[in-house]
Amino acid sequence: MAIRIAIIGAGVAGCGAARRAAELGADVTLIEQNHPGTGSSGRSAGVYNIQTLDPLDVEIRIHARELFFRLERDRGLHLSRIGNVRVATDESQLPRLQAVIDLQHQLGADDSILLDRDGLHRLVPDLNVTDLVGGLLGPNDGHLDGQQLCDVLLAEATESGATLRSRTKVTGHHVTPDGHHALQLDGEVDTFDLVINAAGGWAGKVGVLLGHPVPLLPQVHEVVQVKLPHQLDYVVPMVNLYMPGQAGEALYFRQDGPDSLIAGMHTYTVLDHIAVADPDDYRTKVSEEYLYEVAEHLTERFRVDGLGFKPGWTGIYPLSPDSRFILGPESDPTVVTCAGLGGVGVTMGAIAGATAAEWALNGTPTTVPSTIALRPDRESLDAFRNQPNHSEVRT
């Protein structure tokens, strides 16, 4: 008899976990309190890229991008390959970007290009490059629709036998005398051998229900819509001025429609000036203060007169205290957590989810073995876990 596995949360990570678990022969039930892709996955800027600094993150992103390319070919996933450039503001950053290219080549991705200041200007003629030194360009990177990505991952999962239970909320949990997980699902109880917590911004609350609290700090981030005064004679790639490891946040912007951009401020880390959000009751409108901040930064950086700005939307970055994914088995190995994906859930979540499925069913990650470093029991999370009542305060 196939192993029964419940996956809680049908965002990119949960759908990726369902796809991989079904591929591995499990009896998969994907549980979603709303509809697939309607949480953070469907409220993101939709960016995918392999242009980052941490070697493990680079490896996960390359696997994810290869999956996207296959889904584009086989499933009609729409990829807007407008390019993605990680901008360098200091000469000391250029060798680090070259090291990323060298690593990408080792991992089979050979399309990235290191640009100098003049190359940045040629790529984005209206970019103010006076204080920039170059950047790392991924010409095959760009953006996609998080909702569609969930749909195509889910299609592959269900074709392999997975079952989706949408508009179903997990309201209770206990372990049966024979060691199975009994989940209360809107008034009825179903039992499973394994559970994956891939609930995005809700992973903290789900973790409490499962008896394995997740140290999660969800924060609201915002997107601004920008109207161009006229169509440009080039496509604006995803321009990201945030350099991983820097303090705070930095501007990003990209083409959205023929005469529009989207823009915002990006980070990988928890920001002290942003409150921890309740995913069931968070601000869904862009603040006036944020709108003005993004307008000021973009007007200075992108020298096109007559830009118009209006509020876009908000979503949750489900961040961990140490800014890394929380991925692997809990103290009870039949419970696996896939959480803390922050603002990169669309670009990395499908492979993070697949890794969670491998942990659950194989006892070890096989697609990206080095993700073992992201286990929930790592030392960098201990201090947070030991805070009294952290689950009540942080969810």
Q: What mean pLDDT comes out for the span 139-143? A: 98
Considering the domain architecture, whether residues 209 and 348 belong to the same structural domain is answered as yes
Is residue 47 in a domain?
no
pLDDT at site 389: 41
Is residue 88 in a domain?
yes
Considering the domain architecture, whether residues 14 and 150 belong to the same structural domain is answered as yes
Is residue 48 in a domain?
no
Is residue 134 in a domain?
yes
Q: Which of 263, 288, 319 is the last residue of a domain?
A: 319
Considering the domain architecture, whether residues 259 and 313 belong to the same structural domain is answered as yes
Is residue 230 in a domain?
yes
Number of domains in the chain: 2
pLDDT in tens, 45-93: 999 999 999 999 999 999 999 999 999 999 999 999 999 999 999 999 9
Q: What mean pLDDT comes out for the span 329-349? A: 97
Is residue 161 in a domain?
yes
* Residue burial 261-271, b: 16+ Cβ < 10 Å; e: rest: bbbbbbbbbbb
CB atoms inside a 10 Å sphere around CB 253 = 25
pLDDT at site 131: 97
Is residue 49 in a domain?
no
Q: What is the mean pLDDT of the chain?
A: 95
Q: What mean pLDDT comes out for the span 219-248? A: 96
pLDDT in tens, 201-223: 999 999 999 999 999 999 999 99
Q: Which of 295, 319, 343 is the last residue of a domain?
A: 319
Give me the amino acid identity at 243: M
Considering the domain architecture, whether residues 86 and 113 belong to the same structural domain is answered as yes
pLDDT band per the 50, 70, 90 thresholds, residue 394: very low
Considering the domain architecture, whether residues 121 and 230 belong to the same structural domain is answered as yes
Question: Which CATH number fits the domain that encloses residue 265?
Answer: 3.30.9.10
Q: What mean pLDDT comes out for the span 267-274? A: 91
Considering the domain architecture, whether residues 287 and 360 belong to the same structural domain is answered as no
Cα torsion 351, 153, 244, 391 to 10°: value is -80
Question: Which CATH number fits the domain that encloses residue 155?
Answer: 3.50.50.60
C-alpha 318: how far from its chain's center?
A: 9
pLDDT in tens, 341-387: 999 999 999 999 999 999 999 999 999 999 999 999 999 998 786 56
Is residue 50 in a domain?
no
Question: What domain range includes position 127?
Answer: 55-143+218-319
Q: What mean pLDDT comes out for the span 17-32? A: 98
